[in-house]
Amino acid sequence: MEYYSCDTICKSSQDCDGFEDLYTTEFLNTIICSGLPLHVLILKVGVPIMLLRNIDQAAGLCNGTRLRITHLGKNVIEGLTLNGSSPNQKVLIHRMDMNPSDSSLPFRMKRRQFPITLSFAMTINKSQGQSLQNVGLYLTKPVFTHGQLYVALSRVNNIAGLRILIQDGSNGGKCTTTNVVYKEIFRNVILK
């Protein structure tokens, strides 16, 4: 099923006549910002999705919560939670008005869409705090940030569910990667 967003310019941004003529709806539909769902969401029953907004923190429906779609309606999507405080909970998701946090735009826009994105994979940062049965890491270069490799490896419940593919750009795979640790932070540590 395909879901299209409704994109408009916020009234507070309109400081001159013809502002909406300058930025057409077709142009607004092409804008892709971090934390904002796409203009067109193509979904089907069974696909994994991730919430992009906090919907109900008490029920565990927060930014980063993963779900599996069980039913697609015209105005509501039903899913089962895959992680969080209450897994296998039935959830209904509706469209929301969202404003991108991208300050590079010369106006404030509003996108009305389901606050979700497909989630076949996620970044190491998004995986923090989650416990997963299977984790696959695809590393084209060493993990850059201190401790990030540890976070990625510690997400899996069992070592049998861990797979790592390390490639350096050549045709052959490598067997090692660098775990970035800044040794200078330990220089002034006094052990007691």
Q: Could you tell me the residue ranges of all domains in the chain?
A: 2-118, 124-186
**Average pLDDT over all residues of the chain:** 82
pLDDT at 44: 95
| Cβ proximity of 36 and 134 under 8 Å | no
What φ, ψ does residue 12 adopt, rounded to 5°? Answer: -65, -20
Split at pLDDT 50, 70, 90, the class of 108 is confident
> Taking residues 39-60, what's their average pLDDT?
91
Amino acid identity at 49: I
pLDDT at 157 over 70: yes
Split at pLDDT 50, 70, 90, the class of 95 is very high
Residue 13 in 3-state DSSP? helix
pLDDT at 125 over 60: yes
> Taking residues 132-142, what's their average pLDDT?
82
pLDDT at 80: 94
pLDDT at 92 over 60: yes
Is pLDDT larger for residue 166 or for residue 44?
44
Is pLDDT larger for residue 124 or for residue 60?
60
pLDDT at 185: 67
pLDDT at 94 over 80: yes
> Taking residues 20-46, what's their average pLDDT?
87
pLDDT at 4: 95
What residues contact residue 20 under an 8 Å CB cut-off, 6+ apart?
9, 14
Helices (H) and strands (E) in the chain, counts: 4, 12
> Taking residues 14-28, what's their average pLDDT?
69
pLDDT at 104: 77
When computed from its CA atoms, the radius of gyration of the chain, rounded to whole angstroms, is 21
